[in-house]
Structure 1
Amino acid sequence: MTPVLYLASQSPRRRQLLEQFGADFAVLDVDVPEQRAQGESPRDYVSRVARDKARAGLAALAHASDALVLGADTEVVLDDEVFGKPQDAAAAAAMLRRLSGRTHAVISAVWLVGATGEQCEVCVSQVRFAMLDEPTIATYVATGEPFGKAGAYAIQGRGATLVEHLDGSYSGVMGLPLFETARLLRRGGISPAD
């Protein structure tokens, strides 16, 4: 019997990206704490949160023994600091000022968990921002796009105009690295739909 795939995320971007793979899936709403532990590396933090999401999704499906749950997390990291989602316009502008003219890492972790085990893929991309002046930052923040986005930008939106160079996975920066996710799903026995 083909396993049933679930995405433990309410992110419309992750849903859209997973649809590109072509597999049937259902969406689960999970809520897990996203707090970095003292001494935890950014990579370990991102991986743990993604795993926690997948495990929480699987726990909610205790009746479905064939279920496979995909959990993902993506964070922007600069100087070992994890940039979460900005709380307000001032926080968004402060993040963009820090990223201006610099290269930061975007870490995306994906976990696939089921009754038979757990597997993980991690993708790290390097993104260099152009130098941003205050009017550019203010104009971008005023669009509202930075809110709900790690690092206060969306590479798939107007935020693309801030990115001078990307070395890595475009879909990973969006929130779900497709190459790594596809490899994980195939290992889990899930192939694209015909």
Structure 2
Amino acid sequence: MRFVLASASPARLTVLRNAGVEPVVRVSGVDEDAVAASLDNPEPAGLVTALAVAKAEAVAADERDAVVVGCDSMLLTPDGRVQGKPGTVEVARERWGGMAGSTGTLLTGHAVLRIVGGRIVDRAADHQATVVRFGKPTEDELEAYLASGEPLGVAGAFTLDGRGGWFVDGIDGDPSSVIGISLPLTRGLLSRIGVRVSDIW
């Protein structure tokens, strides 16, 4: 069965490969700001799920027979703000100033679409929430981390499976979700559209 990952994330690709899946990678090119603006005051979980659906649908338009999975992640801070990719060193530094020594909830939206004969015949979508307990990097450690470029292109300005893992004291929930794609949730969504994990191994 053709399994398509609608994401450019190397972390998501690595999670799937380590779990026995060799997906076809197709980047959606979805304008995330435009999708967010089209929603009527969504809750954070609804926002990440809607973005995951939009990415999966964009890729599905060019598929004939496949299963497509789309994902999106954001960090929900204790004050209720959602944070995507910081993009710049300045924004990442500011975010780390607020989250060092505290907790946040990493929300990952997932959408799976089943395509037969060029038509979407089934779909399922949901989100996963995982609490992340952040450590306190020293000023030198933080500046070195920012200079690496790693936190600039990832939700919440951190990774669990890279350099950022040094500054995560622990998580409460699914580690694969924090990396970018929840294996348990994806398995559940696949089951809802009639696909077994063993079908994509």
Judge same fold: TM > 0.5, yes or no: yes
Q: Note the alpha carbon deviations across 1:168-193, whole angstroms, 9 max, x for none.
A: 11111110011111222344324336
CA contact (8 A) 1:23 1:191 kept: no
Instruction: Tell me, yes or no, if structure 1 residue 23 matches structure 2 residue 25.
Output: no
RMSD: 1.8
CA contact (8 A) 2:13 2:23 kept: no
Q: Match for residue 139 of structure 1?
A: 144
Q: How many residues align?
A: 189
Q: Aligned match of 1:52 in 48, 51, 54?
A: 54
1: CA distance, partners of 2:23 / 2:196 = 10
Structure 2 letter corresponding to 1:107: L
Instruction: Tell me, yes or no, if structure 1 residue 71 matches structure 2 residue 70.
Output: yes
CA shift for structure 1 position 40: 1.6
2: CA distance, partners of 1:186 / 1:25 = 18
After TM superposition, the structure 1 stretch with the greater mean CA deviation from structure 2, 179-188 or 143-152, is 179-188
Q: Note the alpha carbon deviations across 1:120-173, whole angstroms, 9 max, x for none.
A: 232100001123443332122122221211111111011111112210111111
Distance of aligned partners of 1:77 and 1:88 in 2 relative to their CA distance in 1, 3 Å threshold: same
Q: Aligned match of 2:121 in 95, 116, 121?
A: 116
Q: Note the alpha carbon deviations across 1:64-120, whole angstroms, 9 max, x for none.
A: 1x3221111111111221111122211111111111111100001111112222112
TM-score (ref. length: structure 2): 0.86
2: CA distance, partners of 1:95 / 1:189 = 39
2: CA distance, partners of 1:81 / 1:49 = 17
Which secondary structure does the structure 1 equivalent of 2:28 belong to?
coil
Which secondary structure does the structure 2 equivalent of 1:120 belong to?
strand
CA shift for structure 1 position 44: 0.7
CA contact (8 A) 2:112 2:125 kept: yes
1: CA distance, partners of 2:18 / 2:188 = 14
The equivalences for 1:1-194 within 5 A come to: 3-35=1-33, 36-37=36-37, 39-61=41-63, 64=64, 66-78=65-77, 79-114=79-114, 115-187=120-192, 188-192=194-198
Structure 1 letter corresponding to 2:21: A
Which secondary structure does the structure 2 equivalent of 1:116 belong to?
strand
> Which consecutive aligned stretches of 4+ in structure 1 deviate over 6 angstroms post-superposition?
none
After TM superposition, the structure 1 stretch with the greater mean CA deviation from structure 2, 102-111 or 83-92, is 83-92
CA contact (8 A) 1:23 1:190 kept: no
